[in-house]
Chain A
């Protein structure tokens, strides 16, 4: 199993550009999450999903959108990128009832 994969690893965006961060898991996990981690800070939940077709907002959803059309994929869309969205983005997944979350390697995004 590849686990949780994320692409790209790094990206530089100009202010106002848009992009999609990809996340795929091959563990058949129902629950998937997007977090951002600012330098020296903890995790902040952006969006999460408990199954295909179901998404919900986390703590910091503004400026982002998600979709979940399949169990495997949970892309995160940034519209009109802003410098405040400079961060490292982590995708994670888990099975309901099990606390262990499996994290991807992260996408380091810089908006200038």
Chain B
């Protein structure tokens, strides 16, 4: 079946540090991949996405590359800010067959200290 595995948090970094949050997936066919972000007290919002192998999604300084050979979609940012403190969710949508539901990772909490 389809599944998403994220690295466990919490992740605590100092401002301007490099961030990587690992995400790997299992899926049949060729899924689309997403990173969502949830700021404290808010709902989730789409951060970036990639719809096919080797695509790179990017937004707000965050990047993730769809790696089919390693079934991964790791989130990276070169220099984090305090305002990046949030929970980050990796998700996939299977484009083959039943794609009514997104498959979600468990989320990774990030705290950035000044």
Q: Which residues of A contact B (CB under 8 A)?
A: 4, 31, 33, 40-43, 45, 48, 50, 56, 58, 90, 92, 96-97, 99-101, 103-106
Contact = CB atoms under 8 A, between A and B. Distances in A.
B42 A99 contact: no
Contact of B99 (A41, A56, A97, A100): A97
B44 A103 contact: yes
Main secondary structure of the interface of B (DSSP, over half): strand
A42 to B, nearest CB: 4
B44 A99 contact: no
Nearest to B10: A40
B39 to A, nearest CB: 11
Contacts of A105: 42-43
B28 to A, nearest CB: 16
B82 interface: no
Contact of B43 (A45, A100, A103): A103
A43 B104 contact: yes
